[in-house]
Amino acid sequence: MRRLLDSFYAALMALAALALLLTFVCVMLSIIDRQLGWGLRGLDAYAGYGIAAALFLALPGTLQKGEHIRVTLLLQRLPQAWRNALEWWSLALGLVLTGMLSFYAGRLVWVSQTTNDISQGSDATPLWLPQIAMALGCVGLLVALADAAWSRATGGSFEQAGGGEAARME
72-88 pLDDT, tens digit per residue, is 777 788 898 898 888 89
User: What are the φ and ψ backbone dihedral angles of 138, each rounded to 5 degrees?
Assistant: -65, -45
- pTM here is 0.86
Q: What is the mean pLDDT of the chain?
A: 88
H or E stretch including 84?
A: helix 80-114
For 6-62, how does the pLDDT look when each residue is reduced to its tens digit (9 = 90+)? 999 999 999 999 999 999 999 999 999 999 988 888 899 999 999 999 999 999 999
The confidence score (pLDDT) of residue 72 equals 73
The confidence score (pLDDT) of residue 76 equals 80
Counting Cβ atoms within 10 Å, is residue 150 exposed (0-12), middle (13-18) or buried (19+)?
A: middle
* Integer Cα distance of 88 and 76 in angstroms: 15
